[in-house]
Amino acid sequence: MAKVSIIMGSDSDLQVMKKAADVLENFGVSYEMTIISAHREPDLLVEYMRDAEKNGTKVVIAGAGKAAALPGMCAALCNIPVIGIPMKTSDLGGVDSLYSIVQMPTGVPVATVAINGAANAGLLAVKMLAIADSELLAKLKDYADKQADDVMKKDAELQELGASAYIDKYLK
């Protein structure tokens, strides 16, 4: 039983959406990943989302580009949280997708991350699940501690090397 459903409208989104899956795997959260187009397979999307809750899904992560209807349709069809990932597009750089996802009407909320922000979508899903899972919450705290430690180590090395040497060593 997957706790998170990762849905994308096209396989062209897979490289971005995999980043959400990687985060979920890192935290030991079960997920399923599928391609369902809101525009090309609306009946399949309706069936999938209407069954999501009874199938054990707790959070949906939906990525979409251009018209970006998929996250909103997912939210309209179920009562579980939906996180939308606007995909970077060649036409408008993903701003069109971002606007489509964040401008949901009252009553149909979709949490939205940055353009191509799948890793943050995965983390947000983990945080949602951690509300009712103390083990997962402990893993999140460890993750945050490690991030803080990493920043402090980088700063210590910057102080030791100086900016030019640090740039030469790590950022060129």
* Same domain, yes or no: 43 and 105: yes
Instruction: Report the C-alpha gap between 91 and 122 in whole angstroms.
Output: 26
100 in Cβ contact with 67 (< 8 Å): yes
* Same domain, yes or no: 89 and 163: no
* Same domain, yes or no: 160 and 94: no
* Same domain, yes or no: 123 and 149: no
**17 in helix, strand or coil?**
helix
Domain count, the chain: 2
CATH code for the domain in which residue 58 is found: 3.40.50.1970
Query: In the structure encoding, which two tokens stand for residue 88, read together?
Result: 């970077």
* Same domain, yes or no: 31 and 61: yes
Q: Name the residue range of residue 144's domain.
A: 137-171
**Per-residue tens of pLDDT for the chain, all 172 residues:** 679 999 999 999 999 999 999 999 999 999 999 999 999 999 999 999 999 999 999 999 999 998 899 999 999 999 999 999 999 988 899 999 999 999 999 999 999 999 999 999 999 999 999 999 999 999 999 999 999 999 999 999 999 999 999 999 999 8
* Same domain, yes or no: 115 and 150: no
Instruction: Report the C-alpha gap between 101 and 84 in whole angstroms.
Output: 7
* Same domain, yes or no: 96 and 22: yes
* Same domain, yes or no: 12 and 96: yes
* Same domain, yes or no: 83 and 44: yes
pTM tops 0.75, yes or no? yes
* Same domain, yes or no: 18 and 97: yes
